[in-house]
Amino acid sequence: MNTVFDDVRLASVTQPTVASAVELERLGDQIAEMSAHLDAATARLLDLIREFDDRGGWGNGFRSCAHWLTWRIGLDQGAARERVRVARALGSLPRLAKALARGELSYSKVRALTRVATPETEERLLKVGRAGTAEHVERIVRAWRRVDRIGEAEQSRQRHRRRGLHVYQDEDGMVVIHGRLEPETGAVLMKALEAAREVLSQPETFQDPAADPPAFSQQQADALALLAETALHHGIAPGTPGERYQVVVHIDAPVLAESDAPAAPSAPGQSALEDGAHVSAETSRRLACDATRVVMRHDADGHVTEVGARTRTIPPALRRVLQHRDRGCRFPGCGLPFGQGHHIRHWAHGGPTTLSNLAMLCRRHHRCVHEEGYQIERQPDGVLRFRRPDGLLLPDVPPPAAVPTNPIETLRAQNDRRGVDIDARTSMPGWLGGRLDVGWAIDVLHPLATGEIDRTSEAVV
């Protein structure tokens, strides 16, 4: 008896009335139309992300635009990186960008297509997106990338054969360097040069403020010299690495205690590297926050009269507790699992080396607090508060965005004002139900597979 009733109920669900069928069709149209509106709005969001990224709006203490997005709008790190990637790619793919902005292609399709599209192949891939479903697009993109990898492997072999480096001395004694490096080798070299330039470009450390800044090519030459010297030193001077590669800064006590900007080179209190190069007072305080300290006393003539024992500013036991408590950098939105110990009130100003006066900061944010004007203070309840250089509070959790009472109508009105005409069929693919022949599609579409491009629209129907 129960089986009969179950069959009746099942029939009533699977065989809707004409009225309910019309209603379901209307609901389906609403879903399709609203999805297209959301895709059009996503295009505008990606435009804003690209502009924000290009203008460095995330540079107020964050490592990247994706890192800022995770903090400001709550995206997962992977999703945030993907949004930034797609936003950057669409900057050079106007046809795909326009199709997304008009709701004609879904974000899922555009995200897949931007993995392989170039300005030269964009038009034919746009036809793939319009003709096929999201599954079709993903399959074609995967096949496209396989062909790319085959082509890249052959290109890699050719590059390897063409690698070379020529170093010779010209008539005036200058050494000329000319070479071709494989991409991965070149990437390592460029990263090393970038790191060396960053070391050499600290204005308060290595440059004469009165002199004109060196040109980029000169910075590159200086960076290469630094890399060569470092490599030779590493190879021919065996010893304890921790001792050989320490940066030693000689700091007069008044410099650490003084809270003003860097003193002039002729001032009585000095802060300098071993080679005599001066560093700013604030840089000195940052370096001294968590470093090995040796106290030297000098007589009136500058001769050393007493040398104290080397001590750690933060003892190992306290450091372990600090790392356990903070679990990495405490700067809002950072979350790096490693960092340096920062004295909230510097020990040179009377601040104690205690857990309550310490906070973990990564190298970047430690510099932000000392040299870039960011401020940090611990409240009576133990909560840390960070302020930007302009004094505005930088909260751990950003304020929630204002949401209109009827966000759907607001979104529709915004798209209407931009001339985006969307209905339930705007994003419907042109697929007629046939089986997708991926191999034939790639033969037609991919420039490395064939030179034919006139039959693109036939590839996925």
> Which are the contacts of 226, defined by CB distance < 8 A and separation ≥ 6?
196, 199, 200
Cβ atoms within 10 Å, residue 249: 18
Query: Is the pLDDT confidence value at 353 over 90?
Result: no
Q: Quickly tell me which residue has 């204002």 as its tokens.
A: 402
Domain spans of the chain? 16-159+406-458, 166-233, 249-311, 317-394
Instruction: Report which of residues 10 and 431 the model is more confident about.
Output: 431
β-bridge pairing 358-361 and 340-343: antiparallel
CA distances from 291 to 256, 319, 330, 372 (A): 13, 12, 19, 20
Q: What is the mean pLDDT of residues 89-116?
A: 93
pLDDT of residue 453: 37
User: Is residue 454 predicted with pLDDT exceeding 90?
Assistant: no
pLDDT (mean) for 197-220: 69
CA–CA distance, 368 with 364 (Å, rounded to integer): 6
User: Does residue 36 have a pLDDT over 60?
Assistant: yes
At residue 115, what are phi and psi to the nearest 5 degrees? -70, -25
Which pLDDT band holds residue 95 (cuts at 50, 70, 90)? Answer: very high
The predicted pLDDT at position 177 comes to 92
What is the pLDDT at residue 257?
58
**Residue 149's pLDDT is what?**
75
Comparing 153-162, 278-287, 402-411, 423-432, which segment has the lowest mean pLDDT?
278-287
pTM over 0.75: no
- Rounded to an integer, what distance in angstroms lies between the CA atom of residue 80 and that of residue 63? 13
The tens digit of pLDDT for each residue in 250-306 reads 666 665 555 444 333 444 455 555 555 565 666 666 777 766 666 666 666 666 555
Model confidence band, residue 97 (pLDDT cutoffs 50, 70, 90): very high
Percentage of residues in the chain having pLDDT higher than 70: 73
User: What pLDDT sits at residue 99?
Assistant: 93
Average pLDDT over residues 378-390: 87
pLDDT attached to residue 3: 52
Q: Which residue has the higher pLDDT, 286 or 141?
A: 141
Q: Any residues with CB less than 8 A from the CB of 335 and at least 6 apart, and which?
A: 328, 329
The reported pLDDT for the residue numbered 263 is 38
Closest by CA position to 127, among listed 95, 150, 97? 95
Each residue of 50-62: pLDDT tens digit? 999 999 888 777 8
